[in-house]
Structure 1
């Protein structure tokens, strides 16, 4: 396995809920036992990628597949949506790397309970829904070398979000606690990555959603540390 002395994270960034990105990164930093390297997946910073897709509920719905490209197809990296809170040491997730796999994901198998989600977006059920919201990427895997900006621009959502360029045997499985879907699954005090997939508590309509206390506690700790 390549020698990487820090965890590399690509985190989805949408200016409409920028505070969600910062809260997530803060929660990762607070609980991490190892050095970290963050890349905010902000559309305006992707100079070699032009978003050609016209659907999607956030600004990084397709650019997330650039993760191997952003690290020059070497080593490992984690992609995570920005609408999460990390409650355990991210190094525990990092240690689940498996060189025999191209990616590792939580293999959700569910039908959504909500017809709409944040910003009024339609929320449809589809195969492998939310698999791509947390991905432990083997950036150097030969099958992932195909993920160039041009390739991603030309492929549709069903192809990308179902990881259709991979064989099923090349997709490893992560424990569900590393991508626990709030309001889709029952409350779980043992969740390690709490995913507010229907709407982050920074948004008015989701301020008091289930497990929102974990999100609100993160910026509150930052404010407390700043003092008066």
Structure 2
């Protein structure tokens, strides 16, 4: 049984529809106690990191997710969920869950650091190269470090749907299992032990995304 964490951060319905389509049993709840006996958890989300962390703390899902990760059961984060699994986010300069080591950085700040002589406004510098913020739309994935077990049956360079302005920057590069190219290497699949995260939206990515969810359901 899959548990879906509902913490008022959006993107819940599309995850529900995708799991229903592949006939994977699930429980959706705003109450951590309802998910205490599930075998695996999907931690989705769209929106602001500071707001999301506030909601997690109010609901008790912050402690639940930390305990669930420590249990060794499969946990996967999607989009905003993939980011706030890490230690901190520049979006509101908020301390996050710290399940994985690393920070969440804004595209524009990373771009400026890679182009220190650029005098233009950071976002204009990206626009000059037709790289708009947020990174929105379809992009293909290149596998790294052996890829992820959740990508079984999915050809490399398959396209997935992205919507994000902030970029995962893991402390340990060996946990990066897949990247997209958006003017820089964008870590898009992260996996360490029982935790897997996807910067893109599997539930909105057609057949390849549904296969990720099938693989997760079959763990």
Report TM bin, short chain: 0.3 to 0.5
What TM-score do the two structures reach when normalised by structure 2?
Answer: 0.33
